[in-house]
């Protein structure tokens, strides 16, 4: 076991990082952190409000600061935001300090899971499919460049994805 025994989940919005991260932490009796939630708690407003007042750059600055702190912790499960891999500084922190699991998920499945969502500002557009397809093209190489392990969270139900990750983590 290396990289301070941390598990970091990365992947597009709606891939299941928060859901699977919470279940993983429960199974392993490890503390669970979600960088989106930490940012909201520290700011005192929700993510759409941060985007509205500070733009995406303001949110990314807050995200970078949060990830710099969270990746100093040891023995935790961390669900990141979907765009955590955009900045190189974040990618380095993630790769250096934890076992990074990419939850790979198709755009169709994400659309099904997020169709009634109002909390993901990047999807509040007339054409969320086109937006997700564009994000996947931009980000897939970044997710893969950080990942120690890839799980298909589009096909696997949450519990099966957790089982799969636990098997790999326990073999480390």
Ligand X SMILES: Nc1ncnc2c1ncn2[C@@H]1O[C@H](COP(=O)(O)OP(=O)(O)OP(=O)(O)O)[C@@H](O)[C@H]1O
100 phi-psi bin (left φ>0, alpha ψ -120 to 50, beta other): beta
Judged by CB under 6 A, the stretch of 9-17, 48-56, 63-71, 127-135 that binds ligand X is 9-17
Q: Which of 9, 1, 3, 40 is nearest to 158 (CA)?
A: 9
Among 81, 98, 128, 154, binds ligand SKM (CB under 6 A): 81
82 among annotated binding-site residues: yes
Spatial contact of 105 and 161, defined as CB atoms under 8 Å apart: no
Nearer to ligand SKM, 81 or 98 (CB): 81
Give the separation between CA 65 and CA 85, rounded to whole angstroms: 13
Per CB under 6 A, contacts with ligand SKM among 129-168 are none
Residue 72: how many CB atoms within 10 A of its CB?
Answer: 10
When CB distances are held under 5 to 8 angstroms depending on the partner's kind, the choice from Mg ion, ligand SKM, ligand X, none that residue 98 binds is: none
Q: Which of 60, 63, 68 is nearest to 93 (CA)?
A: 68
Shortest Å, Cβ 22 to Mg ion: 10
Give the separation between CA 14 and CA 11, rounded to whole angstroms: 8
Compute how many residues bind ligand X; rule: CB under 6 A: 20
Nearer to ligand SKM, 7 or 15 (CB): 15
Q: Which residues pair with 77 in a beta bridge?
A: 7, 32
Site pattern 6..45 for Mg ion (x: CB under 5 A):
-----------xx---------------------------
Using only the alpha carbons of the chain, give its radius of gyration: 15
Q: Which residues are annotated as a binding site for Mg(2+)?
A: 18
Which residues are near Mg ion by CB under 5 A?
17-18
Which residues are near ligand SKM by CB under 6 A?
13, 36, 47, 81-83, 120-122
Q: Which residues are annotated as a binding site?
A: 14-19, 36, 60, 82, 120, 139
């Amino acid at each position: 076991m290396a990289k301070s025994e941390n598990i970091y989940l990365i992947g597009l919005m709606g891939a299941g990082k928060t859901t699977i991260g919470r279940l993983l932490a429960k199974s392993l009796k490890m503390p669970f952190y979600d960088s989106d939630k930490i940012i909201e708690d520290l700011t005192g407003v929700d993510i759409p409000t941060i985007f509205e007042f500070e733009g995406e750059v303001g949110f990314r600055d807050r995200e970078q600061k949060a990830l710099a702190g969270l990746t100093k912790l040891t023995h935790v499960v961390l669900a990141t935001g979907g765009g955590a891999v955009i900045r190189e500084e974040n990618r380095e922190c993630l790769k250096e300090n934890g076992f990074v699991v990419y939850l790979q998920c198709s755009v169709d499945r994400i659309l099904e899971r997020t169709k009634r969502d109002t909390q993901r500002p990047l999807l509040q557009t007339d054409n969320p499919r086109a937006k997700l397809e564009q994000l996947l093209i931009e980000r897939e190489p970044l997710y893969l460049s950080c990942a120690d392990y890839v799980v298909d969270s589009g096909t696997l139900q949450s519990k099966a994805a957790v089982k799969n990750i636990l098997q790999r983590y326990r073999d480390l």
